[in-house]
Amino acid sequence: MTTNLERKKEIFNVGGKAYISASWSPMKAAKNLPKIGKAFAVPISFLIAGGENIQSAIPTAMMMLFEQLEEQDITELFSLILQDVWSKSTDKALNIDTDLENIDELLQLTANVLKQHYGCMIEGKGFTSLFQVMVPLHQMAV
């Protein structure tokens, strides 16, 4: 059985500093998915639906994202996403307010960590396969 200590770790360089992030187990990623997905699902789906008019969809998608982040406690969301990240130089758990210089570094690190934990879903393998199984099951049940 693989423990969190044995999980794959990735190093992200942000703002000239290195951060180490431990990969989440499949169950931990699944448990955190609703909390994280709630903030990003609607804006991202709006962008995807924008198709060729992506440029005109960006402002609306950003507004949707900010509304979602305002409804949730954004500090809890960032803490959740970055909970298994630590500074390589100090070997201590990440302290968002003291280790990162600005919001750009916060967003860069968050994007890297989200890709680490949920990148397979962005590539389409996870959700696509799940929906291919669930839709026929739903149709048989109706």
Q: Is position 116 within any domain?
A: yes
Q: Is position 2 within any domain?
A: no
Strands (E), 1-142: 9-14, 17-22, 85-87
pLDDT for the residue numbered 120: 77
Range of the domain at 96: 7-141
Per residue in 11-52, pLDDT tens? 999 999 999 999 999 999 999 998 888 887 777 666 666 666
Measured between alpha carbons, how far is 32 from 17 in angstroms, rounded to an integer? Answer: 27
Q: How many domains does the chain have?
A: 1
Q: Is position 137 within any domain?
A: yes
pLDDT for the residue numbered 138: 45
Answer whether 117's CB lies under 8 Å from 23's CB. yes
Answer whether 24's CB lies under 8 Å from 113's CB. no
Q: Is position 64 within any domain?
A: yes
Mean pLDDT of the chain: 81
